[in-house]
Amino acid sequence: MWEERAARARLLAERYPASGQILLFYGSLADWQGRPAGGGGGAVEDATRALAPLLDLVSRTGPERLAEAARTIEPERWAALVADYWRGCASGTPLDFFARAALQPHAAALPAGEPCAWCAAPPQVGALREQAEGRALDLVCALCLRPRPGTRGRCAGCGEGTESKLLTFSADDLAHLALAACETCRGYLPLVDLSRDPRAIPEVDELAGLPLDLWAHERGYQKLQPNLAGI
């Protein structure tokens, strides 16, 4: 699956130049995440050993914001940062990216039916798929990337269900992407419509929606869960 994510990111980088840099970075990251971790000591132990190669990758290919954050990481605090994130406790800083990137392959490999600590948190992206005569909503976990059933017509962040409080924004040149925004919590969730593009991979395709993210931020909305590019 990591190879598919990397290939999809590079395809989208050609299709959507405005988001090209972020997509190409994610492609390199997905390649790295797909390599065997080695060691076999468990999620936190393997992620701790992954610090040096991850810092090297970010310094060579990552956005400047993440490259700057990489220079502030104290190796002696890395294990604690990773352990906290694995338990579902984020630091609220760019350093969360490194723990999340290192832990994601382990979380994605959890047995079916075993949630990770982040499955109960707001999702990273929503995926719309055809079901009977309508479309169903799946919510994709920000850490393990596994989908879970969602409820259409309800904010994935605060649970608001009043129709007038829930808005959807889209752009003509991003036909299979949209944002579901909530006027109550001022949060928004990226949406990837698989009925418009069955080849889409939600956690990858939402990176192509950078123009929509910028538009939402300018109007005071905040993403329910940042992606691995920190957006």
Q: Are residues 163 and 208 in the same domain?
A: yes
* C-alpha to C-alpha distance for 86 and 100, rounded to whole angstroms: 8
Confidence (pLDDT) at 41: 61
Considering the domain architecture, whether residues 104 and 190 belong to the same structural domain is answered as: no
140 sits in which H/E element: strand 134-140
**Boundary residue ending a domain (56, 82, 108):** 108
Q: What is the pLDDT along the chain (231 residues), one digit of tens a residue?
A: 999 999 999 999 999 999 999 999 999 999 999 986 655 567 888 888 888 899 999 988 888 888 888 888 888 889 899 999 999 999 888 889 999 999 999 999 999 889 999 999 999 999 999 987 788 999 999 999 999 999 999 999 999 999 999 999 999 999 999 999 999 999 999 999 999 999 999 999 999 999 999 999 999 999 999 888 777
Would you tell me how many other CB atoms lie within 10 Å of the CB of residue 72?
A: 9
- Within-domain flag for 72: yes
Given a contact cutoff of 8 angstroms between Cβ atoms, the answer to whether 44 and 84 are in contact is no
Q: Are residues 7 and 103 in the same domain?
A: yes
Residue 61 in any domain: the answer is yes
Q: Is 162 left (phi over 0), alpha (psi -120 to 50) or beta?
A: beta
What's the confidence (pLDDT) of residue 71?
Answer: 86
Give yes or no: residues 172 and 92 share one domain.
Answer: no
Decide if 230 is inside a domain: no
pLDDT (0 to 100) of residue 151? 94
Same domain, 58 and 133: no
In a domain, 118, yes or no: no
> Please, what is the Cα angle at 78 between 77 and 84, to 5 degrees?
95
Residue after which a domain boundary falls, among 83, 108, 133: 108
Check whether residue 18 and residue 71 sit in a common domain: yes
Domain boundary among 82, 108, 134: 108
For residues 109, 115, 117, 123, the Cα torsion angle rounded to the nearest 10 degrees is 90
Question: How many domains, the chain?
Answer: 2
* Same structural domain, 193 and 140: yes
- Pairing mode, if any, of strands 187-193 and 177-182? antiparallel
Residue 42 is assigned to a structural domain of this protein: yes
> How confident is the model at residue 37, as a pLDDT?
63
* Parent domain of 78: 2-108
Task: Note whether 71 and 149 are same-domain residues.
Answer: no
pLDDT value of residue 38: 55
